[in-house]
């Protein structure tokens, strides 16, 4: 059996969880860390999960990419606000025939990765997971865990299901991570943005959990209207979402455990928001296609104000 080596770039809520699951399943995983490096090097990772708690007392931990071996699959799980580091981080750790798997929210991040490693070496991924890092090397997995993968091609042309996606899927299944393969990464990204744009944005502007947003008829309507605008931008790119998709997303959120989005957690911790990847880039995509999205534009403007002010306030 061919075994692929994995690198996790950003061992936080998402990277810590998926990387630990892959290692637990017997795969070779190398973890890049920042502030938690010393702790994780000596104590390993702890995962508290609704699927079962586990610890990995020993992991291959690094704080310098030049110490890491080049890997077959390099998984990026930094916040997009740290992607400016990738031109330095990526080149030493991707094998010549390796691939970069981008597990981040948002739109139009893959082209930035393709500029660094080449267009044929990028797979995009969407994570359907609720997970937080609650202490050094300590991840709390609250709900869901599925990953959807799609090949990136220039201008997000549909890339079909490649052999390497199927190989990665085998590893993820072995690690008991539910995985779906998408023939069209852009369609998958728009579907996810139907959820992320309203809830991530409104959770910050309204200072609210998902259940609070859903309970009030006005903010529930606003959520549906924002979703409608996202669907309209996707249509501008010839990606047509199912007619009942908005209803499905509202229904799905009604059934979710009350949830504070990652953008709200970042805001409360005075960390920069993933505003450009999640809302700014889709807004630019709407402008480029001449699609009118007044509510998304206003949400972006409000968040830009809050984010800028939040960065200047002393903690």
Ligand X SMILES: NC(=O)C1=CN([C@@H]2O[C@H](COP(=O)(O)OP(=O)(O)OC[C@H]3O[C@@H](n4cnc5c(N)ncnc54)[C@H](OP(=O)(O)O)[C@@H]3O)[C@@H](O)[C@H]2O)C=CC1
Ligand Y SMILES: CC(C)(CO)C(=O)C(=O)O
- Which segment (80-88, 236-244, 249-257, 284-292) binds ligand X by CB under 6 A? 80-88
Q: Closer CB to ligand X, residue 41 or residue 82?
A: 82
- The Cα–Cα gap between 49 and 40 comes to 18
**By the rule CB under 6 A, 95 interacts with ligand X:** no
**Contacts with ligand Y, residue ranges (CB under 6 A):** 105, 128-130, 144, 195-196, 259, 261-262
User: Among ligand Y, ligand X, none, what binds residue 80 when CB lies within 5 to 8 Å by partner kind?
Assistant: ligand X
Q: Which two tokens stand for residue 119?
A: 């267009």
Q: Closer CB to ligand Y, residue 50 or residue 287?
A: 50
User: Among ligand X, ligand Y, none, what binds residue 195 when CB lies within 5 to 8 Å by partner kind?
Assistant: ligand Y
CB 30 within 8 A of CB 40: no
**By the rule CB under 6 A, 53 interacts with ligand X:** no
Q: Which two tokens stand for residue 132?
A: 């937080």
Q: Is 192 a catalytic residue?
A: yes
- The Cα–Cα gap between 126 and 205 comes to 24
**By the rule CB under 6 A, 41 interacts with ligand X:** no
**By the rule CB under 6 A, 85 interacts with ligand X:** yes
**β-strands 71-76, 54-56 pairing:** unpaired
We find the least distance from the C-beta atom of residue 266 to ligand X, in angstroms, to be: 8
Sole binder of ligand X in the list 5, 23, 43, 80 (CB under 6 A): 80
| Partners of residue 56 on adjacent β-strands | 45
Q: Closer CB to ligand Y, residue 105 or residue 188?
A: 105
We find the least distance from the C-beta atom of residue 21 to ligand X, in angstroms, to be: 14
Q: Closer CB to ligand Y, residue 77 or residue 262?
A: 262
Q: Which two tokens stand for residue 235?
A: 């249509």
3-class secondary-structure state, position 274: coil
Q: Closer CB to ligand Y, residue 164 or residue 189?
A: 189
* Nearest CA among 197, 192, 190 for reference residue 302: 197
Place of tokens 């750790």: 93
DSSP 81: G
Helix-then-strand count for the chain, H and E:
13, 10
- Quickly list H helices, the chain: 13-24, 37-43, 86-89, 110-117, 163-174, 185-205, 210-215, 217-236, 245-255, 262-268, 275, 281-289, 294-312
Sole binder of ligand X in the list 171, 274, 276, 307 (CB under 6 A): 274
We find the least distance from the C-beta atom of residue 256 to ligand X, in angstroms, to be: 12
**By the rule CB under 6 A, 13 interacts with ligand X:** yes
Q: Closest-CB residue for ligand X? A: 12
Q: Phi and psi dihedrals of 186, rounded to 5?
A: -65, -40
| 3-class SS string, 150-173 | EECCHHHCCCCCCHHHHHHHHHHH
**By the rule CB under 6 A, 12 interacts with ligand X:** yes
Q: Closer CB to ligand Y, residue 117 or residue 147?
A: 147
We find the least distance from the C-beta atom of residue 39 to ligand X, in angstroms, to be: 10
Question: How many Cα atoms sit within 13 Å of 170 on the Cβ side?
Answer: 9
We find the least distance from the C-beta atom of residue 272 to ligand X, in angstroms, to be: 11
List, by residue number, the catalytic residues.
192
| Residues binding ligand X (CB under 6 A) | 10-15, 32-36, 77-80, 82, 85, 103-105, 127, 129-131, 133, 262, 274
């Amino acid at each position: 059996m061919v075994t692929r080596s994995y690198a996790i770039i950003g061992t936080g809520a998402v990277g810590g969880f998926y990387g630990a699951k892959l290692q637990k399943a017997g795969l070779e995983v190398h973890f890049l860390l920042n502030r938690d490096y010393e702790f994780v090097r000596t104590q390993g990772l702890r995962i508290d999960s609704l699927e079962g708690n586990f610890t990995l007392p020993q992991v291959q931990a690094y704080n310098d990419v030049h110490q890491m071996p080049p890997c077959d699959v390099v998984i990026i799980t930094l916040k997009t606000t740290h992607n400016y580091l990738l031109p330095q981080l990526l080149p030493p750790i991707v094998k010549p025939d390796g691939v970069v798997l981008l597990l981040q929210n948002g739109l139009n991040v893959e082209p930035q990765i393709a500029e660094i490693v080449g267009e044929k070496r990028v797979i995009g991924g969407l994570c359907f997971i609720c997970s937080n890092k609650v202490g050094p090397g300590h991840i709390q997995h609250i709900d869901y865990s599925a990953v959807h993968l799609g090949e990136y091609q220039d201008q997000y042309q549909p890339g079909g299901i490649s052999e390497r996606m199927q190989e990665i899927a085998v590893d993820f299944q072995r690690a008991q991570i539910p995985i779906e393969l998408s023939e069209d990464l852009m369609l998958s990204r728009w579907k996810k943005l139907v959820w992320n744009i309203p809830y991530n944005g409104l959770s910050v502007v309204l200072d609210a959990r998902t259940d609070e947003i859903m309970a009030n008829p006005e903010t529930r309507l606003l959520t549906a209207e924002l979703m409608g605008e996202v669907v309209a931008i996707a249509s501008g790119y010839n990606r047509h979402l199912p007619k009942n998709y908005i209803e499905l997303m509202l229904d799905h959120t009604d059934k979710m455990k009350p949830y504070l989005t990652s953008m709200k957690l970042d805001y409360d911790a005075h960390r920069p928001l993933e505003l450009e990847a999640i809302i700014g880039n889709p807004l630019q995509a709407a402008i480029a296609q001449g699609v009118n999205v007044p509510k998304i534009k206003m949400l972006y403007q409000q968040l830009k104000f809050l984010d800028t002010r939040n960065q200047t306030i002393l903690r």
